[in-house]
Structure 1
């Protein structure tokens, strides 16, 4: 997964990887306090515009992320520490420890490393049932594309999409990003729509990082998607998102016409719609707010939209006032920089790197 880059290219790539990881975390933190709330309840609490920035959760804390950001960071770690399905699964098992224990534990299986030592990650923030049960299932070979996988074969929850942006950061091409994301999605979700939607999202991320305009990246990923059996649900959802964005006048009601985002294709479609509705760097704030103000899985749609637009525009487009209150911001930034260096073949191969990312 090494792509040699010039100094300028590496700086731009680093900014985009930072933008994607931090943007996803911002969308996650924006949406988390209103996840499960109807748009009527959201407007009743915050006014007709809904949430207009980071708001306190039920604990009174601002800027907390959920399992969406947690699992995305462990995806990064799994890619650095091996880059294949077993390495990513081991990383997700390290994430599972953060859901089972209140603090880092000694002598746990599935490897050491810096990420599992981050105390702030040891917080259970409504993790998806399929993610939890799928990791308890045990290792299994991915099914051929288009067929149900062996783990949770009927599940197509959005837990596949919300963690899959990193597969697009350093892949040699969009198809590689697609297929690795889809195989790794099968670690927990076996429904073809669930894992193909994850693949399509990773391909979009790769294409915007390669310099494609957003609309062209969405189209390219959608075209790639049709090469795989059982793509129809995801393809229909993406076409609906593109058509809706072309109509203008974005609103929560239009968002909700695409579904509730509890399943993978709807979460991807809503995030893509919100990004296409506000595609410019100066509109990233509006895009994320559109992505979270609806009666559905607000943190996941916010996270996926933030991953996509952050990769497109880079860190400088992110609202600085929101970043100030973001949980784990320093760790997320460091991991983004490590991953950018690793994908470019420039990591410092020293004792410190080996301690942070021991090979699985």
Structure 2
């Protein structure tokens, strides 16, 4: 959860910007926490170290899992997300619900059933908030079901469910001490029965596997600029889960032993930088722990998380770990 928050904060100033504009307005690649410039399209002038909806929605899901004892109540969860957005609007925030989530929750308020509200959601909203599921559940059927339940209201598509389960299982395998947790997650999801509504968009699973294989075969041999160009041109870095989640897995693979560098790279690549960096941070953080990240930057983010967002990371993670340790969660 700390890695998720740090990645989110590093990507906050650059989200939805091109790599060229990031260099133009920030004087180069992101190497530290910076204030968002006035030209930032979603979070103008947001202060350095602040997190976005990625982290906040992950905590919304975490709290619902905790209150429900691990058995997610989707009706309550939907109300939680609607209340979160109302609170953000009251603060004047532009960093609100993503397009798939917003459309799905609007349908829910109109009386559409939970099974139908997310049938067009192929973006990364489920994946970006999946980390609590990976903490609360060990790899297995219960994790797969919890990942599905956590995104079915908003992202009930093959792409939405695959991306959410990939991130949750990567986190879970890492916590279990499996160094090859990225591959274990891909193989885990590959073996599951396919769920969700069909979409003509590319498979998340296939694209994650493709770009991980490319990194391991050729991607580690090229410089950072060429690596970034390949992801921008061939993978994509948009909010679509088959782009941003594939990019996050590729970045985590290339920079596996240097988590802070991975997050700075993700924050500089352009596109949905906050989510790509947040997912990368969650997965690498689950393996390396807080000691894997730059201590000063992490301290700043976690302090602001408590003071500005009123989110208690230690208490939340402790409660999620208690769910994991419970016999019926294994």
| TM-score normalised to structure 2 length | 0.82
Of 194, 216, 222, the residue aligned with 2:160 is 194
Q: In the alignment, which residue of structure 2 is the partner of 1:221?
A: 185
Aligned to 1:161, the other structure's residue is in SS state: helix
1:74 has 2:60 as partner: yes
Q: Determine if contact 1:28/1:66 at 8 Å carries over to the other structure.
A: yes
RMSD of the alignment, in Å? 2.6
Deviation at 1:279, TM superposition (A): 1.0
- Unaligned 5+ residue runs, structure 1? 1-20, 105-119, 143-148, 347-360
Match status 1:155 vs 2:121: yes
Q: Tell me how far 1:240 sits from its aligned partner.
A: 2.0
Q: Which moved more, 1:177-186 or 1:322-331?
A: 322-331
Runs of 4+ with >6 A deviation: 139-142
Alignment counterpart, residue 84 of structure 1, candidates 61, 64, 71: 71
Structure 2 residue 304 is the aligned partner of structure 1 residue 317: no
Q: Which residue of 1 aligns with 2:47?
A: 61
TM normalised by structure 1 equals 0.75
Kindly state the Cα deviation for residue 174 of structure 1 after the two structures are TM-superposed. Answer: 3.3
Higher normalized helix content (fraction of residues): 2
CA distance in 2, matches of 1:217, 1:133: 33
**What SS is found at the alignment partner of 1:229?**
coil
Alpha-carbon distance between aligned partners in 2 of 1:102 and 1:76, rounded to the nearest angstrom:
18
> Contact 1:26/1:322 (CA < 8 Å) preserved in 2?
yes
Return the alpha-carbon distance in structure 1 between the equivalents of residues 94 and 314 of structure 2.
22
Show CA shifts across 1:253-286 (max 9, x none).
Answer: 1331311231112221111111111111xx1111
| Alignment coverage as a number of residue pairs | 298
Deviations 1:294-322 (A, max 9, x none): 22100000110011011111122121111
Specify whether residues 91 and 319 from structure 1 end up closer, same or farther in structure 2 by C-alpha distance, changes over 3 A only: farther
Q: 1:337 aligns with which of 315, 318, 323?
A: 318
CA deviations 1:27-83 (Å, max 9, x no partner) are: 1111111111100111122334x1111110222511111111111011111111112
Q: Which residue of 1 aligns with 2:274?
A: 299
Give 1:127's aligned residue: 97
d(CA) in 2 for partners of 1:94, 1:230: 24
The more displaced of 285-294 and 331-340 is 331-340
